[in-house]
Amino acid sequence: MFVNDKKVAIAYGVPVETVREWVDTKYISGTKKEDGSYEIVEKEFNFLMEMEKVREQVLKEILKQDSLGIHM
């Protein structure tokens, strides 16, 4: 299963051209279609979106602890 490049661009808040560069440089797995658009492997896209959520939670926790004066 694949996700089209426009959906990925919207999800990441980047231009479609950036998503296409990611595929071309193997940052994310996908293929270029005959019409010039790109498809991204859905499982990998979903995984990266979950990792983004984890990073956001970690950053929020660090900022929260920092504001409370807790240092690890």
Phi, psi of 14 (to 5 degrees): -125, 165
End-to-end alpha carbon distance in the chain = 42
Fold type of domain 2-67: Multidrug-efflux Transporter Regulator; Chain: A; Domain 2 (1.10.1660)
Q: Where are the domains of the chain?
A: 2-67
User: What pLDDT digit, counting tens, does each position of 10-31 carry?
Assistant: 988 899 999 999 999 998 899 9
User: What pLDDT digit, counting tens, does each position of 31-61 carry?
Assistant: 999 999 999 999 988 888 888 888 889 999 9
Overall pTM surpassing 0.75 (yes/no): no
